[in-house]
Amino acid sequence: MNVVISYDISEDKRRTKIHNILKSYGQWVQYSIFECQLNDTQYAKLRSRLHKLIKSDTDNIRFYSLCSCCFGKVERIGGEPVPDDTIFFAECAEG
């Protein structure tokens, strides 16, 4: 499962904890955005860990699931190079 996760956390201490959890699951690509390749168990555990930390009235975490084809077609301009282990597909069969 390919997931892009973005977050907006109101408190610095909580934001740092969430950032550190996400670092152990995926690639930090922008200030509050991670790209993760997870199996179902990892995804469930990650969501549970994050849900326990947030304050639902002020914090916001979003999970965007992408098919393998779409995940492989992400374009990037600028910034530091990210390890390229993408597989390109001729046609997207998943989405």
- Tokens at 61, concatenated: 């975490």
Q: Is 8 annotated as a binding residue?
A: yes
Among residues 84, 66, 68, which one has the least CA distance to residue 76?
84
Neighbours of 49 (CB within 10 A): 15
Q: Which tokens go with 15?
A: 């934001």
Which residues does the annotation place in the binding site? 8
Which residues does the annotation place in the binding site for Mg(2+)? 8
